[in-house]
Amino acid sequence: MKILLTGGAGYIGSHTIIELYKAGHSVVVVDNLVNSNQEALRRVSKIIGEEFPFEKADIRDRESLDRLFGQYHIDAVINFAGLKAVGESVSKPLEYYENNMNGVFVLLDVMRRHGCKNIIFSSSATVYGDPAIIPITEECPKGQCTNPYGWTKSMLEQVLIDVQKADREWNVVLLRYFNPIGAHESGLIGENPNGIPNNLMPYITQTAVGLRKELGIFGNDYDTHDGTGVRDYIHVVDLARGHVAALKVFENRNEISSQRDEEKGLYIYNLGTGHGYSVLDVVKAFEKVNGVKIPYVIKERRPGDIATCYCNPSKAKEELGWEAQYGIEEMCRDSWRWQSQNPNGYESL
């Protein structure tokens, strides 16, 4: 299939291009590079040994999208494009709602005008809020998000559900990612945050490489085995492969599940490993695998954080035949390989 990847120059998108090519698909990438660097795409080309089309454009720019759909026969879209910094979304709610929501509105409209009604949407475990059930299944009710970023995911899920309900020709796949970390084994591509990292693993790797003095651990008085927050970390390459597996829905949706005919076309999956690791577990695993010490201090809880979040990933296994292959050691090893080989990310060359 030919897949349009919006936001394909970013962390998850760049890894997904590689897995799509390995599975025999091809891509067109559109990204405005607001949170990424074209160098990532050059390195992806090096890894796959092939060039692919890239358009530097904003997905809110209807004319650019229209031109792309006219130029290429696109079978499906994977929408990664979006702003994702939780803290920033609290201080710039309008910018987040405008970019993330409007981007998808324009994209969906252009898609239907061109008769392309297959979309995979990057959603997030954040839509569960403080989850009612652990491990979280897809039946777990969605919850109260604690920030505008999370609400954009929750609301866009609803938009996509409504679009699919109104026109059953649409195939909509909502992938709820848990906590992606790790990097491609080549060490050529990885997560490249702007400024001070918000997320745990880039903070750990930047501390290890000497860019940060010490890791601040946000609270050690949660109701978890060691008091620090527990999450379901998933290797970004496993996550990328989850997208390839989800394309099955577009090839033959009748094979996917035992849904009634009138329900076909909407698919929701958790993409995680099903294992929960605390902040201290991750720090210890990182130190052990890589032989690097991570100095840390315990800080106040971070507002909006929850104690525990990990999923039951069995639906994706049963219906898509996908399950995560990598464990926490590989995630720590590959995150460090990327950071140590590229101390300043894509700016180092």
Count of residues that interact with ligand NAD, criterion CB under 6 A: 27
The whole-angstrom separation of Cα 298 and Cα 243 is 36
By beta-carbon proximity to ligand NAD, the closer residue of 81 and 268 is 81
Contact residue for ligand NAD among 3, 9, 189, 309 (CB under 6 A) = 9
Q: Which stretch binds ligand NAD (CB under 6 A): 43-51, 82-90, 261-269, 278-286?
A: 82-90
Query: Do residues 287 and 294 touch, judged by C-beta distance below 8 A?
Result: yes
Contact residue for ligand NAD among 122, 205, 206, 290 (CB under 6 A) = 122
Contact residue for ligand NAD among 19, 65, 77, 82 (CB under 6 A) = 82
Is position 155 an interface residue for ligand NAD (rule: CB under 6 A)?
no
302 binds, among ligand NAD, ligand WQD, none (CB under 5 to 8 A by kind): ligand WQD
33 binds, among ligand WQD, ligand NAD, none (CB under 5 to 8 A by kind): ligand NAD
Question: How many other CB atoms are found less than 10 A from the CB of residue 284?
Answer: 16
Query: Do residues 142 and 131 touch, judged by C-beta distance below 8 A?
Result: no
Contacts of 157 by beta carbon, 8 Å cutoff, 6+ apart: 121, 123, 127, 142, 174
Q: Taking the complex as a whole, how short is the minimal distance between the CB of residue 89 and ligand NAD, in angstroms?
A: 10
Is position 124 an interface residue for ligand NAD (rule: CB under 6 A)?
yes
Length of the chain: 349
305 binds, among ligand WQD, ligand NAD, none (CB under 5 to 8 A by kind): ligand WQD
Q: Taking the complex as a whole, how short is the minimal distance between the CB of residue 322 and ligand NAD, in angstroms?
A: 17
> Which of 70, 31, 333, 314 has the alpha carbon at shortest distance from 182?
333
Q: Which stretch binds ligand NAD (CB under 6 A): 5-13, 110-118, 292-300, 319-327?
A: 5-13
Hunting for tokens 């491609």 — which residue is that? Answer: 184
Helix (H) or strand (E) holding 308: strand 308-309
Is position 99 an interface residue for ligand NAD (rule: CB under 6 A)?
yes
Residue tagged active-site, from 21, 149, 203, 326: 149
Helix (H) or strand (E) holding 221: none
By beta-carbon proximity to ligand NAD, the closer residue of 58 and 319 is 58
Hunting for tokens 């609301």 — which residue is that? Answer: 155
Active site residue 296: no
Is position 10 an interface residue for ligand NAD (rule: CB under 6 A)?
yes
Residues in 210-239 that interact with ligand NAD by CB under 6 A: none
Write the DSSP string, 75-140.
-EEEE--S---HHHHHH-HHHHHIIIIIHHHHHHHHHHHTT--EEEEEEEGGGGSS-SSSSBPTTS
Cα–Cα separations (whole angstroms), residue 177 to 80, 321, 344: 12, 17, 26
Helix (H) or strand (E) holding 194: none
By beta-carbon proximity to ligand NAD, the closer residue of 80 and 128 is 80
> Which of 127, 108, 128, 105 has the alpha carbon at shortest distance from 118?
108
Q: Taking the complex as a whole, how short is the minimal distance between the CB of residue 72 and ligand WQD, in angstroms?
A: 29
For binding to ligand WQD (CB under 6 A), which residues are involved?
Answer: 84, 86, 124, 126, 150, 179, 198-200, 203, 215-218, 229, 231, 279, 302, 305
The whole-angstrom separation of Cα 92 and Cα 237 is 31
Cα–Cα separations (whole angstroms), residue 322 to 213, 243, 246, 336: 39, 9, 9, 26
By beta-carbon proximity to ligand NAD, the closer residue of 26 and 199 is 199
Q: Taking the complex as a whole, how short is the minimal distance between the CB of residue 265 and ligand NAD, in angstroms?
A: 22
Contact residue for ligand NAD among 4, 18, 31, 290 (CB under 6 A) = 31
152 binds, among ligand WQD, ligand NAD, none (CB under 5 to 8 A by kind): none
- Active-site positions read 149
Where does this chain bind ligand NAD (CB under 6 A)?
Answer: 6-7, 9-13, 31-36, 58-60, 80-84, 99, 103, 122, 124, 177, 180
